[in-house]
Amino acid sequence: MLELERIRGDFPILSRQVHGRPLVYLDNAATTQKPRQVIAALVEFYERHNANVHRGVHTLSQEATDLYEATRAHVARFLGAEREEEIVFTRGATESINLVAHAWARENLSPGDEIVLTPLEHHSNLVPWQIVAHERGAALRFIQIDAEGRLELDSARRTIGPRTRLVAVAQMSNVLGTIAPVKELAALAHAQGALILVDGAQSAPHLPVNVRELDCDFFACSAHKMLGPTGVGVLYGRRRLLTQMAPYQAGGSMIASVERECSTYAPAPTRFEAGTPNFADVAAFDAALDYLDALGMDAVREHELALTRYATERLSATPGVVLFGPRNPAQRGGVIAFNYRDLHPHDVGMILDHQGVAVRAGHHCAQPLMQLLDVPAVLRASLYLYNTAAEVDALVEALAAAGALLGRRAPAA
Amino acid sequence: MNADAELDELYRDGIVEHYRRPHHAAPLARADASAEGMNPLCGDEVRVELRFDGDRVAEGAAWGRGCAICQASASMMTDEITGLAIDDAERLIGAVEAMLKSGAEPDEDLGDLDALRGVAKFPVRVKCALLPWKVLRDALDERGSSES
């Protein structure tokens, strides 16, 4: 059981007021709030250890390098990777996926090859594949989802075939919260000699993740969605893959030796970290991982499962609410998409904001999913380890305020 | 300003009324010009149809899927342009754009459209209020090009 009062006390921003009301922050799929410990780690880095990494002979540079590499080792343990060398730091999950698209897919796809995706994908796990497929004459295929937004395994079996070279799938949907059957998809992919990339931007913060148990070839996530600073992403890649991949960005740090006409490259993961990395934020990310370790990801999931159950029950019991996503809380995370009456999400979202409730309204970087649901936009409330049942109640009350202000539309005259 | 008063600035009575019961929100029996537009970021869509009588807009209709601000703006627009000379309609589009972007009191009396002035304080929603007017301009341009 999480001790919510103590935890909430660790997050300074949660005591803010918005429009004269207590902040009810339910936009965690967009970004998460930071505990004091992470903020302090960043401040301490700049106050005591700031220097560029990997290059210097002086003490500060060594300290900074040690902190940077300590985070790498910590991420490897957190994700269950076998080796630190399998962890690459990027700017975010989007860049991690683009790295695979450029450094692996571009070099390894031939005309007629197929990349298998789902209609749930965030644009970051769709658009890079569109570009690569177009360039290499490959095709995109999509696994079907059912009315609740769950992946249909039968469809996966039909769609992942001999031409498949890559399956790319979000472990947790950033709109519907659907948890994908990654292990089964990995098995299907590998049976066809294909690789599987998992977009873990929403899963790594909310579920215990073990990349070896999932048996995935690549895994991407973002620090800022898991209590860490912005500007830091992770790409996990199987060692034998990373060692064979061409560089993504080129410049300093990723080289071994440089002459006028040609260069040789550093081994992975350094090969994929060109230029000065975001070392201060990487160092502070370690404190976020410490925080999650201390709570335990099983406990985080347990809390969110209970809160998601409560939220979906209260929302489905509220007249006028249309809920999307899996009905069974065990099949989903705490990302809850919904609409309210026939009101536009922007109007509802703005009125909720004036009640202190922060949710997101729009297409959530998932326009193909909006088209599939046949809605221009949806509201999205997304929970995290510091949210409470009382905050869910506040969301429901604020919805009533939106209904009162904008009412039900009378038929056109 | 407290939270409720701020919201009242945006969702003024005029706007809510036009949203609840939009005027001229159905296809015309006969349309001389039409155009469609959308705001990809928020999903507002508007279709505008116009019927002309010589140099005047005899009838205008606007409807679509969108937020309260967009729909109300579209509804108010159809009221204001009915019977208006085409040149005046084009000038009106400019006046509304200026008002929405600056929030300043317009030089001319814009009637019901004054209710839109509050939107200027909410930059995120200005695009919503502007969309029907952009589509109107496209519809008027369509007529212009089919004439020449």
Same fold, A4-30+296-406 and A38-293: no
Chain A residues in contact with B41 by the CB 8 A cut-off are: 362
The residue ranges of every structural domain in chain B are 3-147
Chain A residues in contact with B122 by the CB 8 A cut-off are: 350
What percent of chain A is modeled with pLDDT above 70?
99
Residue B3: the pLDDT is 62
pLDDT tens for residues A347-388?
999 999 999 999 999 889 999 999 999 988 999 999 999 999
Of A354, A363, A412, the CB nearest to B22: A412
User: Is residue A216 annotated as a catalytic residue, yes or no?
Assistant: no
- Average pLDDT of the segment spanning A379-408: 94
| Alpha-carbon gap, residue A290 to B113, rounded angstroms | 56
Residue A411: the pLDDT is 38
Interface contact A405-B11, CB threshold 8 A: yes
Of B7, B26, B67, the CB nearest to A412: B26
Interface contact A351-B6, CB threshold 8 A: no
Interface contact B21-A20, CB threshold 8 A: no
Whether the pLDDT of residue B119 is over 80: the answer is yes
Chain A residues in contact with B61 by the CB 8 A cut-off are: none
Is any Cβ of chain A less than 8 angstroms from the Cβ of B58?
no
- Average pLDDT of the segment spanning A17-46: 98
Is any Cβ of chain A less than 8 angstroms from the Cβ of B43?
yes
Please state, rounded to an integer, the average pLDDT across all residues of chain A. Answer: 96
pLDDT tens for residues B48-84?
999 999 999 999 999 998 899 999 999 999 999 999 9
| Alpha-carbon gap, residue A222 to A114, rounded angstroms | 27
The residue ranges of every structural domain in chain A are 4-30+296-406, 38-293
Kindly indicate whether the ipTM for this predicted assembly is greater than 0.85, answering yes or no: no
Whether the pLDDT of residue A408 is over 80: the answer is no
What percent of chain B is modeled with pLDDT above 90?
61
By DSSP bridging, strand A233-237 and strand A17-18 are unpaired
CATH code for the part of the protein at B3-147:
3.90.1010.10
Of A19, A20, A363, the CB nearest to B43: A363
pLDDT band at A410 (very low <50, low <70, confident <90, very high): very low
Whether the pLDDT of residue B116 is over 80: the answer is yes
| Alpha-carbon gap, residue A171 to A331, rounded angstroms | 11
Is any Cβ of chain A less than 8 angstroms from the Cβ of B16?
yes
Contact present, A186 and A218 (Cβ < 8 Å): no
Whether the pLDDT of residue B2 is over 70: the answer is no
Helix or strand run (H / E) with residue A321: strand A321-323
pLDDT tens for residues A94-121?
999 999 999 999 999 999 999 999 999 9
Classified as helix, coil or strand, A362 is strand
Chain B residues in contact with A370 by the CB 8 A cut-off are: 43
- Average pLDDT of the segment spanning A226-233: 98
Q: Which fold has domain A4-30+296-406?
A: Aspartate Aminotransferase, domain 1 (3.90.1150)
- Paired tokens of A328: 């069974």
By DSSP bridging, strand A164-170 and strand A195-199 are parallel
Residue B7: the pLDDT is 84
Q: Please give the class, per CATH, of domain A38-293.
A: alpha beta
Catalytic site residue from A216, A221, A262, A365: A365
Whether the pLDDT of residue A409 is over 70: the answer is no
Which range (A55-59, A86-90, A336-340) has the least confidence? Answer: A55-59
